[in-house]
Amino acid sequence: MPRRAAVVIPDVPLFLIPHIIQNGIRIHGEEVERITIKKTYMHVYSLSIRTRSVKRELRPAIPHAKYPAPRSKGRRDPA
């Protein structure tokens, strides 16, 4: 399976780094594999967010949910 391309965000001021990382984690969730921050000049940085695929069994049933959907205990038929 080919790798996903990293999301590169160039020229980020120092004070915006936590906000951009927070948004990246909120959007990609458990798919985030690595976040790389490189200083380009003065107080400006370049961010790279690499993601990976998550197994279908572990992927949340609800998009952007933090945990997989809970399984019903006992009956197979909810009716």
The per-residue pLDDT string of the chain (79 residues; one tens digit each, 9 = 90 and over) reads 567 788 899 999 999 999 999 998 888 887 888 999 999 999 999 999 998 877 666 666 655 555 555 555 555 555 4
Contact in structure between 35 and 74 (CB atoms under 8 Å): no
What are the strands of the beta sheet with 32-41, ordered from one edge? 7-13, 44-51, 32-41
Query: According to the model, what pLDDT value does residue 43 have?
Result: 93
